[in-house]
Amino acid sequence: MSKFIVPIIISKLKILKSFFRKIYLKSSGMVLPNNTIIGRIVCDWPSKIKIGQYCEIQDETYFKFKNPFDMENYVSIGDRTFIGRNCEFNCNLQIIIGSDVLIGSNSVFVDNNHQIDKNICINLQPIKTALITLKNDIWIGSNCTILMGVTINDGAVVAAGSVVTKNIPSNEIWGGIPAKKIKDRV
């Protein structure tokens, strides 16, 4: 009986910490329901994030907004979505995540990129941006990178460690660097 007490206490403390964290984030403008669990996230602009019902975002997830005063610059997360530890959302335009999505730890989403004109210094290059969209019922494995302009359609799976540079059709499993189709989901 006593071996169950410690895990129960830890679980209750996690929920209590999330409650106080949510009070702060809501007062800073983040849209999130009471039934969502938020870990220790890093975000200077909570008002740029909308989170759906019954989600869990684990510790050290980082939300970076390049243009926080642009109304079109935001991250939207659907219902019942799980985001693992140490994920990064580098948002210069929009990152839209649907419902029932699982994102493994250490995954990175970048909706922008520098241009590479050889006549201009790299740090002075203009930035290109393109929306990232993850539809519904998707699994992104750990340590994946999803780059600008990518749409991952319903039911897709991305293998751990992949770099996604192209759109992924529904119900396909992709993996590799760059990610390519491995097989259909059965």
Q: Any catalytic annotation for residue 55?
A: no
The answer to whether 35 and 57 have CB atoms below 8 angstroms apart is: no
User: Which of 17, 46, 51 has its CA nearest to residue 32?
Assistant: 51
User: Which of 74, 95, 93, 92 has its CA nearest to residue 83?
Assistant: 95
**Identified catalytic residue from 12, 40, 114, 181:** 114
Q: Report how far residue 125's alpha carbon sits from residue 113's, in angstroms, rounded to the nearest whole number.
A: 10
Active site residues: 114
